[in-house]
Amino acid sequence: MLVAERRMATIDYDLELKRAGANATGGWRRVLFLARRHVLGAAGLIIMTVFVFTAIFANVLARFDPLTVDAAHALARPSAAHWMGTDSFGRDVFSRIIHGARISLAVGLGSTALGGTIGVIVGLTSGYLSGWFDLVFQRVSDILQALPLLVLALVMTAALGPSLPNVIIAIAIPLIPTVARVIRANTLALREQPFVEAAKSIGMSEVRIAVRHVLPNTLAPLIVLATAQLGSTILTEASLSFLGLGIPEPYPSWGRMLSESAAEYVRTAPWLVIFPGIAISLAVFGTNLFGDALRDILDPRQRG
């Protein structure tokens, strides 16, 4: 009897392993299928992966301290010692770009997460409860969205002062009405669905219905929007730093690196402009490509 039970247990275990392997194989096949169908999206995902990997392991990848000044090697051309040359203070450009990826990722993720979280709360409340709160929200959103993202971020940064937390807050505030309106539009459509009426009929509270049933169904457009906004936040941070209102010295920022060299060294030391510009372009380009592909995958109306 015990031997038979052990054999049955072994057989069941083997079957589970085979099923898990089949599921894993099917998952990889689906990933390959999506990569072939959305080639540009796959390229954007690769760029984003490299960007995130660089930011996480910046201390390992950087060959020099990005803050160390070496006047003897100021404005050195790209060479085997300094792959992307040095700036006017002798700081290694490659190391500063590597560490600048960490700052751009921190600002991008921080502002997107902060603005998205507040936007979800406001949009869900506005769309589900409606009434006077929805009316006030619409008017405030109209005022905030009347100004471009960069202009509003400039005003906020000038009021708060240049620092990493202030830059995150300044970029996050203009994102709130955009996220909130997307969540509100989906909430208005979902609150009339039969499953919401069924939840009300069994006595479920309004807060529980909104959080457990309405909110999960708004996550797909929220993910797409957050991915698309990530590139905008990185570009906005670079613009603020270029204008002197972003990340202060001596911390490496791609926009700050451009502002220090664009006018004075664009002819004598073009590598000070080329490499930070390429880094900004690739980061924004990769996030936009991946965001477009993610929208096509998650939006049923885009499927053909």
| DSSP state, residue 248 | P
Q: How many CB atoms lie within 10 A of CB 241?
A: 30
CATH 1.10.3720.10 fits 39-302, yes or no: yes
Coil, strand, or helix at residue 148? Answer: coil
Burial class from Cβ neighbours inside 10 Å (0-12, 13-18, 19+) for residue 48 reads buried
Q: What is the pLDDT along the chain (304 residues), one digit of tens a residue?
A: 434 444 444 444 444 444 545 454 566 777 676 777 778 888 888 999 999 999 999 989 988 888 888 888 888 888 888 889 888 888 999 999 999 999 988 998 999 999 999 999 998 888 888 778 888 888 888 888 887 878 888 888 888 888 888 899 989 988 898 898 888 888 888 887 888 788 778 878 777 888 888 888 888 788 888 888 888 898 888 888 888 888 887 788 888 888 877 677 778 888 888 899 899 999 999 998 888 888 777 765 555 4
The answer to whether the Cα torsion of 280, 282, 287, 292 is positive or negative is positive
H/E run at residue 21: helix 2-37
The token pair that represents 150 in the structure block: 């960069």
